[in-house]
Structure 1
Amino acid sequence: MNQSYYNGFNSRKRKQEYKTDLPVMITPEVKEPGSILSSLSAYIFKPWHGFVILFFCMVSSSIAFGVDDNAKSSIAEVLWRWMPLLLKGFIFNIVISICAMAIGTAAGAALGLGQISLNKWVRRVSWFITQFFRNSPWLVLLFFAMFLLPFEINIGGLAIPLPDWVKAIIGLSLPVMANVSEIVRGAVVSLPSGQWEAAESLAYTRRQTLWLIILPQCVKRMLPPWMNLYAILTMATVLASIVGVSEVMTLTGQALAAEGGRTDLLAPFYSFVLLIFFMYCYPIARWTVRLEKKFSVIG
């Protein structure tokens, strides 16, 4: 077999492999963790959605105003008059969400580390607590906190009152604790086992391995779901209105009652509440998507 025939045979073989293997060799798009949620978030949360909600608020207000021609004050005037009180109530919602998130994060981090403990009883108890509160309705936990916790705590003759908003914070922190526990456990387990083996080869104790090697790498994995959880918690703070906490929904009902029960005010007032929650949670959602793309881990 001469050299020219050999070269021609190799050339035809390479062309055939190129034609048949090229579609297989195309690198598929690598799906990042949470990419489905990220794509959905990128599709759902667009800047023009806020303007659409504002437009519907204005349209609903104008339609409701047209229904009641005998109203003494226009809807815009009434809403403007009650707006400072409603914003004050919304700030209280934010305070409740921040406090519940702080307590739940601290307790959940300890519970999540308990789930990966070497002690099987600590691991089982932590798993049971996590699953119990994670799969319990938030409203039921809130009712339990409101009615089972005492009105005051006596310590050495000193009476410390527990107002309703403190009980609401404790009740909302329980499901947050369980979800944070699962976030911490999942982040630690997602790290390659080589990290633990390398730390063990350097004679690191388990505590040193956790605090110096494992947990610092877990922060970027835990941050996006943690922010998603905070956004969900913020929107769930309106549940506190059912147990009598004076937050934005409670104040909205009181404002409507003070206006004589005008039905034309229902849509504008609740649309305003919807709008302020959207304006607060939307940047969190966009920031979460950005962090998911920045801290994405492939493989």
Structure 2
Amino acid sequence: MQHFVGVFPYLWEGIKLTFLITIIGVAIGFIIGAFVGLGRLSKNKLIFWICTVYVEVIRGTPILVQIFFIYFGLSDFVNIDKLTASILAISLNAGAYIAEIVRGGVQSIDKGQFEAGDSIGLTRTQTMWYIIWPQAFKRMIPPLGNQFIISLKDTSLFSAIAVHELLYQGRTYASSTFVSFEPYLMVALFYLAITIPSSIILRRIERRLDV
């Protein structure tokens, strides 16, 4: 019982960093994903192929490889600390998946909506911003929530570069006390305490929005 209590301060510090990386990373990833997702719908072939290559490269390689490349590989050219590398990795990884969410959301809107925008004198950009995007974003909310949960769990991989997130803190306690069962069980419970309520909230949002 003492180890369940003793590990708590370690994990509390770790969960704060886990949330920080996830929130900032997914927020930046959304910005990247929005532009890339729309770029994947562009009629400009150069923009389309640049965005497509980015999505395919990120989705086609493990996030752990991306973490190592950013933290160790880029260190040959630029100094990058562990926290920055972590946020960058989550941002780029989430951005590729969010790009597909954005692309799918926009494509799910009837093409007649663009024609409606043209009929009232709106440009294609105005039609996208005022008519298409609000409808598409509503449909994106559930998969965006799922991506947030996935990215949050992916932060556990940053323990590989000694980022003091939730899993790393649990490992630190286990190493210092030579006790494994309680620390890792508590790590799992901490993740569940985040992901289960998040999933419940997402399901309620889906029902409320009827998407």
Normalised TM-score (structure 1): 0.67
Where does residue 132 of structure 2 map in the other structure?
214
**Pair 1:204-2:107 in alignment:** no
Where does residue 154 of structure 2 map in the other structure?
236
Where does residue 13 of structure 2 map in the other structure?
88
Distance in 1 between residues matched to 2:107 and 2:205, nearest whole Å: 20
Where does residue 62 of structure 1 map in the other structure?
none
Amino acid at match of 2:35: A
Aligned-residue RMSD, C-alpha: 1.6
Pick aligned residue for 1:116 from 17, 41, 45:
41
**Pair 1:144-2:62 in alignment:** no
**Pair 1:195-2:113 in alignment:** yes
**Pair 1:130-2:55 in alignment:** yes
Pair 290,112 (structure 1): closer, same or farther in 2 beyond 3 Å: same
| Cα pair 1:101 1:176 within 8 Å, conserved | yes
| Cα pair 1:79 1:269 within 8 Å, conserved | yes
Pick aligned residue for 2:175 from 247, 257, 261:
257
Say which structure is richer in helix. Answer: 2
Where does residue 181 of structure 2 map in the other structure?
267
Mapping of residues 29-178 of structure 1, within 5 Å: 76-150=1-75, 162-178=80-96
Distance in 2 between residues matched to 1:220 and 1:182, nearest whole Å: 15
Farther-moved stretch of structure 1 (119-128 vs 205-214):
119-128
Note the alpha carbon deviations across 1:34-58, whole angstroms, 9 max, x for none.
xxxxxxxxxxxxxxxxxxxxxxxxx
Displacement of 1:291: 2.1
Displacement of 1:292: 2.2
Amino acid at match of 2:114: W
Note the alpha carbon deviations across 1:134-162, whole angstroms, 9 max, x for none.
22211111111111233896xxxxxxx63
| Cα pair 1:248 1:273 within 8 Å, conserved | yes
Where does residue 278 of structure 1 map in the other structure?
192
Runs of 4+ in 1 over 3 A off after TM superposition: 150-153
SS of residue matched to 1:150: helix
Residue identity (%): 32
| Cα pair 1:151 1:163 within 8 Å, conserved | no
Displacement of 1:289: 1.6
The higher radius of gyration belongs to 1
Normalised TM-score (structure 2): 0.94
Distance in 1 between residues matched to 2:96 and 2:18, nearest whole Å: 21
Distance in 2 between residues matched to 1:289 and 1:226, nearest whole Å: 12
| Cα pair 2:55 2:97 within 8 Å, conserved | yes
Distance in 1 between residues matched to 2:193 and 2:23, nearest whole Å: 17
Distance in 2 between residues matched to 1:81 and 1:115, nearest whole Å: 50
SS of residue matched to 2:75: coil
Note the alpha carbon deviations across 1:40-88, whole angstroms, 9 max, x for none.
xxxxxxxxxxxxxxxxxxxxxxxxxxxxxxxxxxxx2233133112211
| Cα pair 1:104 1:173 within 8 Å, conserved | yes
Distance in 1 between residues matched to 2:204 and 2:100, nearest whole Å: 22
| Structure 1, unaligned runs of 5 or more | 1-75, 154-160
| Cα pair 1:92 1:247 within 8 Å, conserved | yes
